[in-house]
Structure 1
């Protein structure tokens, strides 16, 4: 078929078009149907790789979510768990990575980057507890470093979480559950006069003790206020967010303490661990459409703080058998960060070839003062191990060229250049100084088809992740500021029939240096080079107007590539995952969603002689709408009451009364069956 001259391969423009469609769907009552979601999430003819896509807010609102961060589990192959209190950032797993708290997976909310570089607890720390799932418009995800627009932390993938611009009607929601769970939400869009834009607000109050013998006492207040005018193609939005949380932690515990009856399965060895955090932000997004040229601007400001008390090894460094001091420590940081992004997409013609050239500039600065590590006992300060002030700056320029060469072939070629500067002022003079680094990252993709409703994708790209600024300054064995990654992928997207899409991708990712969890410090550190390969297979099937089935299966192989006697296996690298779901929408007054998640075994040490167990957990939501304004829903988490672990590590620790340290599994159990009942009322 002939290609129209106005054809635009620019993905930013396509994302905006998808945004318009999603936003429009929210305005109509009853738009949360399976058919609408299937149309909104269809990426045939738009995607640049088989492993990118959209998850609509409509689908997210049908799902049972134990934690806000679990919205990312709809990114195929991504698993979300927790190894401590729920007020802390989650653990993430994708493509054979134990991403810890976010390294190598870049996350954005309302245009703002969430990953925090040079964080007190872990590089790329990604705390999504401020999310309000009911306000999400869509999640756009990409895997691999194939897009020139994304840089740091994006080697395994990227997710952009966009909030609504307007709701169809205000709502109030109250949720009660076991373990003292209480949640109240008020959200809506006040009616505005024509031509005066749209206002969106959300206010959440939350408390939960959980099943733990030491109550978690998680309390948070959360607010969103957004003003927007125009559309995602030609308009703007301003978003203010505020979040405050505090909790008592339920850290991982040694298995022997449970086996010996020292504590119960849901017990704790230190009831004073936990944390408190605050996050305040303001962001603005602007889009101008002049003819076929699209210009975008994004600016943001963030102020955040975290005090985190942890105790992973109990009495390891305390020589006394009675352990009067213990190994508790606190990590503290206070941060202000700001950023700016400018981009433009310009159409062109090369003869009869439709072309789109996109380019942009990105700037970011993080001021962290203080960022510190302190020895504590029952949250009382004993001594300062290290306290620093860090200023980290980054700048990037990027260019991307999209060409439709023939009806069956288009190419995407890009180049990104990043420059970083790290300034560290430490209480340890030898750890103060400045370092600089820069890196360029080429990208190339080909899309072939469609042939018989199928498209074939070939992608290759280079990316990177940054290391903690403090590690780049240390006088002995400083780490590389930027670590190179290289990835390749071949995939197919096939529209089997209307409403049924299947994708498969075969990928490989190499990294010059791993980041591994270190039990004695509760942080991550650089390690050995690695290679990962894997296969992903996903399906979305619409069955009639009311039923949808989805299935995502992934397999990966992760190995260190150097010769080391410790072994080639990467601790925490999951091999097999599966996420299966069935959704029932608007079947009379009834709706429902049932999901099963399989989290496969992982090696816990380099020779794989110790491995974690696998887990299989099912979650259920059943909803009943008794009139146009009121709905009840019941969520049942861990429906089969499976005794499994959220996380497992293997390292050395010492309990009170033990003469010598012991290597052991350290586990954080998955919560037992939990019930939560919600009532939602719409005001008009």
Structure 2
């Protein structure tokens, strides 16, 4: 039985081993783990603690860019959820990219601003032990929001040493972090406290103030043990939202100016979570549960004076919610001759109790109510997934998932209140051939979904226009195909190549900025991803990740078949130097390709390239200095671009225009780290 244990454990949950003493040493000492014989797809992977620590990230959410082909940007103040791009999708604030931190869902359903809202500002990168990622709807365990991809960040139960870091930088950047994990009562008590301030390069500084803390008690190891974790995060900020290109071209606005200086918001997140795992030679069990309280107050103005020439178009989108849930799964491992098999069954339950709304405001003062709602959204899922190694060069994966959703909306307008429900069954299969000459070949097919905003499932009347409005399908189906290859034939080189197709029956979304629903058209995306990690010598590692996608609507419409915002190409090139001496360094080039901004492709965004870097010096065993540089070439590029109608205060009528948010100007940050 012992000979099947490594295979069985890998298929059940590779992340379970993040804190095993031996495996943790492997994860920290190696920059990227081999996935031969483990991964179900060429698009699956694991990024280790050392590789995460070597990244130069302007904000916490950019840690996810360790996922090949994923771009993270920002179009407003630092406290707002990031914008994500992957596999030809503009994922907005997280729709179709499932994100978890320590088994807690980060995506927020039926959110006041955007479906799948993914705010990662509570993340403390120094605590991340690993990042696991997958792409496509091929895992029975992932479910909602995972059609384009899924990322899972695992916090460490123990830190190698305590740490006290102080960072100062340009644009009012200040950060302090204290973290340690001393032994306590037969286990470990991990704590971390982070304080941060950042103005950014904007004329009216973001004045982003963050207080963040983590407290965790754990016993045992990650594959045989348990932990309980409490997290608390709070932040306030000003926001420089996107501005019209015409005003910048005319000299009326600078690139870092704001039109409405009162935009901004505040966010708070509190959570208690726990997990228990037990692993034997022939089985593995895991149970995790969580309670999360989120609160957001967001003030935005994207159209300026289009709807209200007197007071302006600012609106508020408050969202308060309590999310509870659990995930329980059990796996059995069997063998018969040379056949090794592992079957996992699981159940996931989540409930969101939500109060949100949409209000007309001026300078954060409420002028009127567009809509306000109390939403109770509940879901339950059961899944089964089987991994079988039929022979040394043949593996299969087969999964089946069933989801049941219930929506209960109580609106300030009775005709927009109601209940809805939906059920969806999602199968998936995978075939892995090899390895031959350290090379494996993959085929994956499956279906997935994303949930739509609960308000859209029962809506009857547009709250702005009082016109009848069609309802949306509660669960939007996706279907995917992947062909891939993974090779480690060249010593020191890990290469993956993926070809994929991903269809959506309808990209249906609730338009939070307008308080109404919009039925999207059926879409299809083809793409190719090419990822390389090369370590020619012990002190040097090179990364090259390239991706191209072609996204089109599948139906016929006079407006055109291009999907606005669908990214066509991305690339990241990086070099990391870690010699035995005191010095170390890294450079990373990110290329963000062009996107169509309208359906007929007549207006397009520009591609951008940014170069970030870092250089470190170890003063002694306990003290280290590190200098980080962002946008080294000081490129005047846009982080994000949209095309829509707006009206400035001095304009007689609305104008269609590109609206953009600039990438940050060149800036430096110096960190003094002391370990104890």
Query: What does residue 624 of structure 1 align with?
Result: 617
- CA deviations over 1:609-631 (Å, ceiling 9, x no partner): 00000000000000000100110
SS in 2 for 1:618: strand
Partner of 1:104: 96
1:215, 1:395 → 2: CA distance? 44
The structure-2 alpha-carbon separation of the partners of 1:517 and 1:388, relative to structure 1 and needing over 3 Å to count, comes to closer
- Between the aligned partners of 1:424 and 1:485, the Cα distance in structure 2 is 25
Aligned to 1:235: 225
Aligned residue for 1:152? 144
**Structure 1, residues 79-135: CA drift from partner, whole Å, max 9, x if none?**
000010111000000000000000000000011010000000000000000000011
Post-superposition offset of 1:408: 1.2
> In 1, Cα distance between the equivalents of 2:278 and 2:8?
18
Pair 1:14–1:243, CA change in 2 (3 A): closer
Measure the CA separation in 1 of the matches of 2:517 and 2:120.
Answer: 19
The whole-number CA distance in structure 1 between the counterparts of 2:372 and 2:151 is 33
**Secondary structure in structure 1 of the residue aligned to 2:14:** helix
Match of 2:208 in 1: 218
Give the whole-Å Cα distance in 1 for the aligned partners of 2:562 and 2:358.
30
Q: Is the 8 A contact 1:179 1:211 kept in 2?
A: yes
Instruction: Report if the CA contact (8 A) 2:112-2:512 is conserved.
Output: no
Q: CA offsets per residue over residues 283-325 of structure 1, 9 Å max, x none? A: 111101244211110100000100000000001112xxxx321
Map of 1:307 onto structure 2: 297
Q: Residue 343 of structure 2 is aligned with which of 336, 344, 357?
A: 357
Equivalence for 2:263: 273
Shift of 1:59: 1.1
Rounded to whole Å, the distance in 1 between the matches of 2:650 and 2:639 is 28
Contact 1:77 1:577 in 2 (8 A): yes
2:502 alignment partner in structure 1: 509
What CA deviation, in whole Å up to 9, does each residue of 1:203-247 have, x standing for no partner? 000001111001110001000111111112111111111000110
Distance 2:83 2:388 in 1: 39
Quick check: 1:100–1:517 contact (8 Å CA) kept in 2?
no
Offset of residue 14 of structure 1: 5.0
Partner of 2:456: 471
1:74–1:523 Cα change, 3 Å? farther
Higher mean alpha-carbon deviation, 387-396 vs 496-505, is at 496-505
2:316 aligned partner: 330
Q: CA offsets per residue over residues 497-551 of structure 1, 9 Å max, x none?
A: 3421110000000001125696963998441110001000010111211110011
User: Which SS does the other structure have where 2:31 is aligned?
Assistant: helix
State the distance in 2 between where 1:102 and 1:595 align.
Answer: 24
**Is the Cα–Cα contact under 8 Å of residues 229 and 273 in structure 2 kept in the other structure?**
yes
Query: How far is 1:390 from its partner?
Result: 0.1
Assess if the C-alpha contact under 8 Å between 2:453 and 2:510 holds in 1.
Answer: no
Give unpaired runs (5+ residues) of structure 1: none
1:250 aligned onto 2:236: no
Match for 1:120 among 112, 115, 118?
A: 112
C-alpha contact 1:581 1:593 (8 A) present in aligned 2: yes
* Aligned partner of 1:680 among 659, 665, 673: 673
Normalised TM-score (structure 1):
0.95
* Alignment partner of 1:263 out of 249, 253, 256: 253
How far apart, CA to CA, are the structure 1 residues paired with 2:201 and 2:228? 39
Evaluate the alpha carbon distance shift between residue 592 and residue 6 of structure 1 in structure 2; reply closer, same or farther with a 3 A threshold.
closer
Aligned residues of 1:6 and 1:354 also touching (Cα < 8 A): no
State whether residues 10 and 358 of structure 1, in contact with CA within 8 Å, keep that contact through their aligned partners in structure 2: no
Q: Report the equivalent of 1:132.
A: 124
- Structural mapping, 1:641-680, within 5 Å: 641-680=634-673
Conservation of the 8 A alpha-carbon contact between 1:9 and 1:403: no
**How far, CA to CA, are the matches of 1:638 and 1:226 in structure 2?**
36
Give the distance between the partners of 2:120 and 2:438, measured in 1 at CA: 37
- In 2, are the aligned partners of 1:254 and 1:667 still within 8 Å (CA)? yes
Instruction: Tell me the SS of whatever aligns to 1:266.
Output: coil
- What CA distance in whole angstroms lies between the structure 2 residues aligned with 1:149 and 1:363? 12
Q: Which residue of 1 aligns with 2:358?
A: 373
User: 1:250: how far off?
Assistant: 1.1
Contact residue 17 and residue 23 of structure 2 kept, 8 A: no
State which drifts further: 156-165 or 583-592. 583-592
Q: Which moved more, 1:148-157 or 1:353-362?
A: 353-362
Of 286-295 and 394-403, more deviation after overlay is shown by 286-295
Give the number of aligned pairs.
667
Secondary structure of the corresponding residue to residue 639 of structure 1: coil
Rate the CA distance shift 1:159–1:574 in 2: closer, same or farther, 3 A. same
* Matched-pair contact (CA < 8 Å) for 2:408–2:420: yes
| CA displacement at 1:594 relative to structure 2 | 0.5
Could you tell me how far 1:12 is from its partner in structure 2?
A: 4.6
1-structure distance, mates of 2:264, 2:226: 39
Query: Residue 122 of structure 1 contacts residue 523 of structure 1 at CA under 8 Å; is this kept in 2?
Result: no
How far off its partner does 1:140 sit? 0.3
Following the alignment from structure 1 to structure 2, what is the Cα–Cα distance between the partners of residues 183 and 416?
Answer: 43
Could you list the per-position Cα deviations for residues 321-363 of structure 1 after superposition, in whole angstroms to 9, with x for gaps in the alignment?
A: xx32110000011100100111001012456522111100110
Return the offset for 1:404.
Answer: 1.4
Query: CA offsets, 1:389-430, max 9 Å, x none?
Result: 000000000001111112211111110000000000000110
Counterpart position of 1:496: 489
Which among 45, 54, 60 is matched to residue 46 of structure 2?
Answer: 54
Larger mean CA deviation between 518-527 and 412-421 belongs to: 518-527
**Separation of aligned partners in 1, 2:6 and 2:242:** 54
* 1-structure distance, mates of 2:498, 2:576: 25
d(CA) in 1 for partners of 2:17, 2:570: 29
Task: Call closer, same or farther: CA 1:480–1:42 in 2, change over 3 Å.
Answer: same
Shift of 1:26: 5.6
TM-score calculated relative to the size of structure 2? 0.96
- Give me the whole-angstrom Cα distance separating, in 1, the residues matched to 2:262 and 2:16: 50
Counterpart of 1:43 in 2: which secondary structure? coil
Decide whether the 8 Å contact of 2:113 with 2:512 is kept in 1.
no
Work out whether 1:81 is the aligned partner of 2:67. no
CA distance in 2, matches of 1:270, 1:403: 58
Is structure 2 residue 8 aligned with structure 1 residue 15? no
Partner Cα distance (1:658, 1:236) in 2? 62
The residue correspondences of 1:560-571 to structure 2 (distance < 5 A) are 560-571=553-564
Note closer, same or farther for the CA distance 1:499–1:522 as it changes in structure 2 (3 Å cut).
farther
Q: Is 1:199 matched with 2:189?
A: yes
The alpha carbon displacement at 1:495 in A equals 0.3
Comparing 306-315 and 164-173, the one that deviates more: 164-173
1:394 to 362, 375, 379: 379
Unpaired runs of at least 5, structure 2: 461-468
Q: In 2, distance between residues paired with 1:487 and 1:516?
A: 20
- Helix, strand or coil for the counterpart of 2:7? coil
Q: What is the rounded CA distance, in whole Å, between the counterparts of 2:388 and 2:48 in structure 1?
A: 28
